[in-house]
C-alpha cells in the first residue's frame, strides 16, 4: 500500500491571492485600525497615529529578522521586558597572598580550595537530620 507523504509543511498556504491567512489578518487589521483613527480623530492626529499602525502591521506581515517572523521578535521582546529575570552570581576563587620577606620581594599566590563539592547538599543534609553544620566551638 502506498501513501503520499506531505512535503513543504513549513511553508504556509497562500489563501488570499499572494498572502497567507496571517499576513492578510495583519494587513487588514492595521488598515482597519488606521481607518478607525482616520474617522474618529482629527486628520493630522489620525495620520500621526495611523501611519505607525500601518507600518507595524506591514512589518508583522512581511518583515523577517534572521529568517524569523517579526511577530516572534516582538513576542520575545515582550517576554524579556515584562518577565522576571534571574541573575546568577558566579563566585570566583579567592586569592591568598603570602609575604615571603620584605615588601620588595615577590609574593607567592595560591588559590583557596572549596570546602566541599556541594555545600547545598551539606546544608540540606544538616537540616534534614536537624543538626548544625558547625560545631559548638565554631558558632558565634
Calpha distance 100→5 (Å, rounded) = 77
Mean pLDDT confidence for 62-76 = 91
Question: Using CA atoms, how far apart are residues 28 and 22, in angstroms rounded to an integer?
Answer: 10
pLDDT at 105: 54
CA–CA separation, 6 vs 14, rounded Å?
Answer: 16
pLDDT at 44: 93
Residue 32 — pLDDT band, cuts 50, 70, 90?
A: very high
User: Rounded to whole angstroms, how far apart are CA atoms 109 and 106?
Assistant: 10
Q: How does the average pLDDT of the chain come out, rounded?
A: 78
Helix, strand or coil, per DSSP, at residue 135: coil
Q: How much is the pLDDT for 125? A: 67
Element (H, E) at 109: strand 108-111
Question: Residues 55, 56, 59, 65: is their CA dihedral positive or negative?
Answer: positive
Task: Give the whole-angstrom CA distance, residue 95 versus residue 93.
Answer: 6
What radius of gyration, in Å, describes the C-alpha atoms of the chain? 32
Q: What are phi and psi of 54, to 5 degrees?
A: -65, -45
For the stretch 74-131, pLDDT in tens is 999 999 999 888 777 777 666 655 555 555 555 555 554 455 566 767 766 666 655 4
Question: Can you give the pLDDT at residue 133?
Answer: 46
Which pTM was predicted? 0.53
Sketch the domain layout of the chain as residue ranges. Answer: 14-82
Place of cell 474617522: 39
Amino acid at each position: 500500500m502506498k501513501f503520499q507523504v506531505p512535503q513543504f509543511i513549513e511553508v504556509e498556504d497562500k489563501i488570499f491571492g499572494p498572502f497567507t491567512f496571517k499576513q492578510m489578518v495583519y494587513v487588514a487589521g492595521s488598515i482597519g485600525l488606521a481607518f478607525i483613527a482616520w474617522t474618529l480623530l482629527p486628520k493630522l492626529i489620525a495620520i500621526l497615529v495611523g501611519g505607525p499602525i500601518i507600518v507595524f502591521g506591514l512589518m508583522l506581515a512581511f518583515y523577517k529578522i534572521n529568517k524569523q517572523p517579526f511577530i516572534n521578535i516582538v513576542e520575545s521582546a515582550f517576554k524579556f521586558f515584562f518577565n522576571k529575570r534571574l541573575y546568577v552570581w558566579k563566585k570566583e576563587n579567592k586569592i591568598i597572598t603570602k609575604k615571603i620577606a620584605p615588601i620588595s620581594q615577590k609574593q607567592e599566590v595560591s588559590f583557596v580550595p572549596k570546602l566541599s563539592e556541594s555545600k547545598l547538599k551539606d546544608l540540606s543534609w544538616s537540616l534534614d537530620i536537624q543538626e548544625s553544620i558547625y560545631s559548638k566551638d565554631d558558632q558565634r
